[in-house]
Structure 1
């Protein structure tokens, strides 16, 4: 009983007119969550089932989609619980855990997009060396790095935040993101410095690397035949679209962190919701419709479903 009394609770205070639109929010978000799960798992299932999709490019796509599922599962169940419940209090430790998963998977997505860009670079610019460079052991190493490195990195601000004193207990957000820093009694130089380093290592450097690799791809394919250019556009365009989409979401999060106190509650709510509304369903739609091999198997699966 004494342990329970020592738990620090914070109140989720980022909702607008929650009581008025409670059931509309719930039905809309629940439907979207189910749709996200179905779309992502369908593409992952197709990649696992068909041997011609057991290639590094498709394995990275499957990892990216599983990332999206974890990202959404970290957010949606709690949102649905908050919406349907009249109690918006949550233990600070649970909020820190959501913060950790949220940023760990977000950083991991950038790293996965980076190794996907490298995979396309090797496939198109060094096709004769592709099997040697992108062997199974290296693919596993890339996947391990894309998950382990950001997990270790995000653990540092979580540990620092866990040991900082709180002076506010109402979070001006609907999820535990950077807005949590406003709860601390005083700012932390260590958090600011480490946050900048993390942003550079897991966002800026990967984006610059992706831009470099795709620039090289487009220069080389521009000098090649029409068939090579078509293959490059067919495989690279989906990755670029996903990168642009996710970069916009990160920009929203940075803006909220820097200007949160100057933004109205409605604007903060709208900007926060961009992080999980359309991107997790955007990924499987892009890869399912734009990647020729996945699209072919998806159409066959839909035809079988209609027949049955």
Structure 2
């Protein structure tokens, strides 16, 4: 993604490009009828090409940040949103939620965001394309991406966590308990955060001499249903794993439900490690051992960074990674021996 932001187009900019007066451009912008159809069409096209939004008038306006989510709000996104709202309350920033450019082109969406007066956009685990980022830049709307599903370009500001290190810590915890036949249930294979968690986890196990067997790795989504389906698959194997690293809390909870349906107990029959440390981790039974990523802090950092960009200030780094940590609860224990192993 590239994200160079040009200066904001003005009526004068459009008038000069069209070879007409500022008054004529103003008439088109305001929907006046006393402009010839040919001139109107030319001016409207230039307004679009120059990403004219009409912003920047007089008066002081409350900053507004639009937060874009993919799919329904879930435990992960709720934690991030809480952090955004906490940070927004301090400077009195309004926060708007949206699903992004559903059914719209990048240009049309970016112009709509700009015309609505948004100071910046924060994208949360969303498929933010190069075209989306470039369109927002052309419309002079700063963008901050949290946990981008695809690697953000050098010019796009992003906030995430140390996913690779988190995968390593999950592997080390299970190895320390004596687990050597372990599985991984993760999100989409092309999601950057999923790749990092999986690579850290797999690399640490391989270094210890216990590579993850192909039948013990599955990549789907970060949702509960994927954990349920993945759990049913793993538990039906002739030699099930003794432990599973789940790429999200939702996957882990779905996996625990799959165990319950088959009369198996966690952690007596299967140890489970989640990733995120949302409220699900504390509320599920048993309470979930997790790799914690500071979701609320990620939201706070994203909001503050977005406001910094909106003010015209530069940022020290285009990608910020906050540290993960292992939180041991009751869902992990030394392995038991399965019949026939």
Q: Which has the higher contact order (CA 8 A, sep 6+)?
A: 1
Q: TM-score, normalised by structure 1?
A: 0.25
Structure with the higher strand share, 1 or 2: 2
Structure with the higher helix share, 1 or 2: 1
Q: TM-score, normalised by structure 2?
A: 0.23
